[in-house]
Structure 1
C-alpha cells in the first residue's frame, strides 16, 4: 500500500480502478486472480481516498444483503470464503403491505437452498477486502485522490494528490454516486427523485429474528429489516456466540418523506422506537434499542451509457438504486463479473490468434462488448426498481387492490414464487 508521500515518477499500468469500496475492491481482487492465469500478468492499480474503517463512506456502519447469486459469484472469485464468517443468513423473507391484506413469503427451503442470501456489515467487509488486497498483486494507493485526469489516445493519465502520475490503458470508475471520474470526464446521468429519505440504523428486538428478513410497504415508503448477528464477528469468535444472542439485531432501512425523516433522525430513542413500532407492527416483537441513525436522499440515478473513451463505470458510479428489494450491490457485482468475463474472453480468444502481441484492455471492442453484456440486466433491474417504488407508494385504490391481489396470488400459488425468488436472489 502506497502512503501519501510525494512521488513524481510516472507509473504505467494496464488497468487503474478509482474507488476501492465494495465494487472497486472486488474488481481489483478478481483482476488479480485473472492476472495470475495470464502469460504476462496485468499491472493493476487501485486508488482509494479513505482507509477501510467505520468512517469510510463505502464501508460505514450500514449492512447490505448479498443475494444467493452474488454469493455464488463471490465464491467463484475466491472472495466469499474470506467473508462468510461475517454473514448472517436470510432463510425467509416476509413481504407485506401495511394496512391491507396483501402479504407473501419467500422461503429458502422449498427452493432446496440453505439461504436466500447473507447480510454483512460493510465496515467488517472493508477490512477483510483490504487485507486481501495487501496480499495481492494489486498496487494500492490509499489514502489518495485523483486531482487531474488527462484523456489521451492510448489511455488516461491520472495525477494523484501525492504527486504520483499513473498512465492506464483502461480506467474503471468505481468511485460511487458522486463519481469524481465522471465529473472529470463530463459524463451525464439521468435522475429520478422519489421525494423520499432513508433512515438507516441498527435496532434490537426482544425476540430472536430466526433468520427472517422483512419488506413492509407503508404509506411513506418501504421499511426493510435485515437480520444481523448480535455483535461484530471475527472468524474465531463466530462459533462462541450463542444462537439466541446472535438473533436479536436488525438493520433497518426506512423510507420517509424528507421532513419526517429529519425529525425522526434526531428524535430521542423512545420516540424513534415508538414510531418504528407503529409503522412496522409487532411481527418481530418489541423494538428495545436503536444505534446511531444516518440518512440519505433516495433517488434512482444512472448513466445511459456507462462507458467512455477507454473508461468503464461500474457499481454506484454507473447507477445508484433505491434500496427497495436490496439490489444495489448485487447489480454492481454483476457489473464486476461482466467486466471480468469480457476481459477473460478477450485474453482467451485474442492470445490464441495473436500469441506474440498484447491485448489492449481499453480497446473500443472490449468497451462495447461490456456495454452489450450488461445492457439487458441493467435496463430490467432499473425498470423493476422504479415500478416497485411507484407501485407500492401509490395509494390510488385500483393500484392498491392490484398489488395486494398480486401478493396474495404468490401465497396461494407457490409455483409463481420461483421466478420472483430467482430475481431477488440475483440470478439472471
Structure 2
C-alpha cells in the first residue's frame, strides 16, 4: 500500500524500534501516519504481508462510509481530505412492506454533510501519500511481504516480533492491525468471541439511469432499507475515472452510482450470486422500489459471511485495533469509523506518556483498552439492536418498527440523537 518508502529486505540485520505495527492495510497504515503526524519522535516499524506497490485505484468494489467526525479526525491526522468527492446530505430509512420511514438530513443538524463515501482503494492511496510526506528519515521502517508468526515478551519494556523470514524485530510496544482473522492472534493466545449472524453480505457497484422521486434529492442520499431477510444499503459514490469498479466508462446514461451492500440469509445470497446481471437488477428493484431510481448498471459481485468477532487482548502483551479488535456487521457502516476512534485515542494516550519506557507498560495499554471499551460496546449494542429489530417479519416487531420509525420521523430530539450517532459523535 505504501508506494515510495524503501522497504527493509530480508538481508537486513535484526532491528530495534519503538512501536511495531503488524498489518499494512488501511487501519495499520493510518495508525503509522497518525503517530508520525503527532511528531512524537518515535521510530515505527510496519510489517505487512502484502507487496505495497498497488494500483492507485485497485479493482475493489467496496466502499467506506466515513462519518462527519471521522473526516475531522482524518484531517487532524494529517490526511488531505480533498479526496472526498461523495457527500451524504440525507439518509433515508425505510422498512419493506410497511409504511414506517424517516429521513435524517444534514440541514437539520446544521452541517454540510452527515457523512462521506470513498472507495477503499482511494483512501489507501491518500494515506500512502500522507505517509510518504510525513516520514522523516529513519522514523518509519517498512517490512513488506513478511508475516509476524510469534511474539515473545519478557518484561514491560522489551517485546520481540518473530517474522517468517527468520528476522526479529525488538520493540517497546506491538500493535496488531492485522484484520479479523490471523494466525498470529491464535498463536499468542488472544481469544475471540464470534457471533455468526447466519447472513452473507453481497456487495457490488450499481447505477441508476433514472432518478427516483425528487424528494430524495439525488445524488446525495444514502438509503437504508430493512427487509425480513436482512438490510440493504446504498451509498452514493462518485467514481474516479481510473476506477476498475466500472470498467466501461461509456455508460453515460448512468445518472448515479451506488455502493450496494445487500445483507441476507446464506441461501438467498447464494441465489443472488447465481443470477444474471439483468435478473439481479430486477431482484434489487423489487426489493428496493423506485426510491433510488431505476437500476441499470451492475459491476462484478462479491459475497462474504457476516459475523461479529470480538478479540480479547486484555491479558495480552499487544494491543489490537480496528477489525483485529472487533469486526462488525455492516448494517450501520460503523466499523472503520470505530477504528479511526481507536487510533485517535491510542495516539492521545501515547502523547500523555512521560517517558518512552512507559510505551511497553502493561498498565498503559490496559488504560487504552478501558478508554475504548465504552465506545465499542455502544456501537456493538446499537448494531445488534438494528439487526435483530429490523431483520425479521414477526408481526409484533413489524408493528413496533412502523410505530418507531414514525415516531422517529416526528420527534426532533430523537432524530438529532440518531443523526449525531450516525455522524460519529457520542
TM-score when normalising by structure 2: 0.89
C-alpha distance in 2, partners of 1:59/1:174?
22
The change in CA–CA distance for 1:163 and 1:134 in structure 2 (over 3 A counts) is: farther
- Over 3 Å counting, the alpha-carbon distance change for 1:138 and 1:183 in structure 2 is same
Which residues in structure 2 correspond to 1:355-370 (within 5 Å)? 358-370=356-368
Q: Does residue 30 of the first structure (1) align with residue 34 of the second (2)?
A: yes
Residue in 2 that maps onto 1:77: 77
Cα distance in 2 for residues equivalent to 1:284 and 1:93: 12
Structure-1-length-normalised TM-score: 0.88
292-301 or 133-142, which moves further after superposition? 133-142
Q: Is the 8 A contact 1:14 1:168 kept in 2?
A: yes
Alignment of 1:241-260 (within 5 A): 248-260=256-268
User: For the Cα contact (< 8 Å) 2:83–2:126, is it kept in 1?
Assistant: no
Report the equivalent of 1:225.
234
CA distance in structure 2 between the aligned counterparts of 1:160 and 1:140, rounded to whole angstroms: 13
Q: What secondary structure sits across from 1:360 in the alignment?
A: helix
- Aligned positions of 1:388-407 closer than 5 A: 388-407=386-405
Name whichever of 206-215 and 380-389 sits farther off: 206-215
Whether the 8 Å contact between 1:5 and 1:162 is mirrored in structure 2 is no
Query: What is the CA distance between 1:231 and its match in structure 2?
Result: 3.4
Matches within 5 A, 1:11-30: 11-30=15-34
User: Is structure 2 residue 318 aligned with structure 1 residue 311?
Assistant: yes
Q: Distance in 1 between matches of 2:77 and 2:131?
A: 13
Q: Which runs of 5+ in 2 are unaligned?
A: 212-217, 244-248
How much has 1:372 moved relative to structure 2? 1.4
Q: Verify the 8 A CA contact 1:169 1:310 in the aligned structure 2.
A: no
| 1:181 alignment counterpart | 184
Q: How does 1:25-424 map to 2 (within 5 A)?
A: 25-34=29-38, 36=39, 38=40, 41-51=41-51, 60-79=60-79, 81=80, 83-135=81-133, 136=135, 137-153=139-155, 154-207=157-210, 209-232=218-241, 248-303=256-311, 305-346=312-353, 350=354, 358-424=356-422
Aligned partners of 2:94 and 2:100 also within 8 Å: yes
- Aligned CA RMSD, in angstroms, stands at 2.3
Unaligned runs of 5+ in 1: 235-240, 352-357
Equivalence for 1:355: none
Alignment partners' CA distance in 2, 1:8 and 1:193:
43
| Cα gap change, 1:46 to 1:245, in 2 (>3 Å) | farther
SS in 1 for 2:108: helix
Ranges of 4+ aligned residues in structure 1 off by more than 6 Å: 53-56
Find the aligned partners of 1:339 and 1:21 in 2 and give their Cα distance.
18
- Three-state SS of the structure 1 residue aligned to 2:385 is helix
Closer, same or farther: CA 277–55 of 1 in aligned 2, 3 Å: farther
Structure 1 stretch displaced more, 94-103 or 122-131:
122-131
CA shift, 1:175, in A, is: 0.5
Check whether the contact 1:215–1:224 (CA below 8 A) recurs between aligned residues. Answer: yes
CA separation of 1:324 and 1:371: change in aligned 2, threshold 3 A: same
